[in-house]
Amino acid sequence: MKTAVIGASGYAGGELLRLLAIHPKFEVAAVSAHSNAGEQVTSIHPQLQSYAGREFVSADSIDFSTIELAFLALPHGESAALIAKIPDHVKIIDLGADYRLENPAQWEKYYGGKHAGAWVYGMPELGAGQREAIKKESRVANPGCYATSISLGIAPAISIIDTSDIVVVAASGTTGAGRSAKINLIGSEVMNSLTSYKFGGVHQHTPEIEQALSAIASKEAKISFTPILAPMPRGILSTITAKLTKSVTTEQAHDLFSQHYANEFFVDLLPQGQMPKTSAVTGSNKVQIQVAVDVHTNRIVVSVAIDNLGKGAAGQAIQNANLICGLAENSGLAFDGVGA
């Protein structure tokens, strides 16, 4: 399938190109980056030697009549204007937030500007028929990175927790903040340091997570979410706790998660005593999960590791593209993380 990657000069765009280079069915026919149009792909992504000699083009120069599939890795709020110009026959995976939220008021509160609408939410493992819903569509809203780790981390426990009392502390690598230069992200500021940001419940993934969890719980879900900037390029480690509404042991909670994810290729529930590590999922579309019960406070505790550029962005986007194109879900993605 002739494929376009739009916004390919960013970190998520570069990861898309890397993964698509080995995909058995998707052929990258157009590589777009507005501000870098005319530059060599390898001048921005020197690791992508399989694209040597190819240049970034502007999105306006792409002949979409020849394109069958497009990945959009644009800053939030920029996808809708371009999508309006793309023919209906083109299947689209939008890695931005433009079509994730169903409530216009939530979009205006957390992002600002006009609400573009809502597409099917691209998290196949979420349950409640989500995978089948994705297969029926041709345009998918790819979830956010934090939203992926947190939603998948607590979804199996929805029936045994107080959904109004979910607390999350999650750390992310610096690539999650994008490629544009920011003083707080330069090496001298980040190395040997941890800091919280968007403190006090204002992170833009909050309504997305609450929307996803409320849908599967059939009642309101609320989270208190504190993100942390970690001194590493990529990876997310989320710690999620929630008040239990039933008496559950760690073994029972582990069994519940095991049953929930028994047939999920990309989700690895680890044996008890083994903890998720961000390095173990680097470069992959994998999710590592561990769960325990804190009997002292009667809370479930879940640890989740993903690669924010993999399952949190490019890998999940390709997973969704596989589904809407009728391919095996793990096509081009059937590999483990890099490790230490």
Q: Sketch out the chain's domains with CATH numbers.
A: 2-143+311-324 (3.40.50.720), 146-308 (3.30.360.10)
Q: Where in the chain does DSSP place strands (E)? A: 2-6, 27-32, 69-72, 91-94, 120-121, 139-141, 161-172, 195-196, 223-229, 236-244, 267-269, 287-294, 299-306
Identify the pLDDT of residue 235.
97
Spatial separation of the C-alpha atoms in residues 166 and 144, rounded to whole Å: 18
Task: Write the pLDDT tens digit of every residue in 113-149.
Answer: 899 999 999 999 998 799 999 999 999 999 999 999 9
Catalytic residue among 145, 170, 244, 333: 145
Q: How far apart are CA 110 and CA 204, in angstroms?
A: 5
Give tens-digit pLDDT for 195-249: 999 998 889 999 999 999 999 999 999 999 999 999 999 999 999 999 999 999 9
- Is residue 315 over pLDDT 90? yes
pLDDT 10s digits, 246-296:
999 999 999 999 999 999 999 999 999 999 999 999 999 999 999 999 999
Q: What is the pLDDT of residues 38-52, one digit of tens each?
A: 999 999 999 999 999
What is the spatial distance between Cα 73 and Cα 7, in angstroms, rounded to a whole number? Answer: 5
**Is 142:120 a contact under the CB 8 Å cutoff?**
no
The CA-based dihedral angle spanning residues 35, 37, 38, 39, taken in that order and rounded to the nearest 10 degrees: 60
Q: Specify whether 325 is catalytic.
A: no
In three-state secondary structure terms, 160 is helix
Q: State how far the Cα of 68 lies from the Cα of 4, in Å rounded to an integer.
A: 8
What confidence score (pLDDT) does residue 209 get?
Answer: 97
- Please give the pLDDT value at position 40: 97
DSSP structural state of residue 312: I
pLDDT (0 to 100) of residue 176: 87
Mean pLDDT lowest for which of 11-20, 189-198, 244-253, 302-311? 189-198
Please tell me the pTM assigned to this model: 0.96
Q: Do 119 and 139 contact (CB within 8 A), yes or no?
A: yes
Distance CA 56, CA 67 (A): 16
CA-to-CA dists, residue 143 to 38, 234, 262, angstroms: 30, 17, 22
- Upper half-sphere CA count for residue 10 (Cβ side, 13 Å): 25
Beta strands across the sheet bearing 69-72: 27-32, 2-6, 69-72, 91-94, 139-141, 120-121
Is the distance from CB of 125 to CB of 132 less than 8 angstroms?
no
Q: Where are the alpha helices (DSSP H) in the chain?
A: 11-20, 41-44, 79-83, 104-110, 130-135, 145-154, 187-190, 206-217, 250-260, 278-281, 315-324
pLDDT of residue 189: 87
User: Within 13 Å of residue 275, how many CA atoms lie on the same side as its CB?
Assistant: 9
3-state secondary structure of 85: coil
pLDDT of residue 201: 86
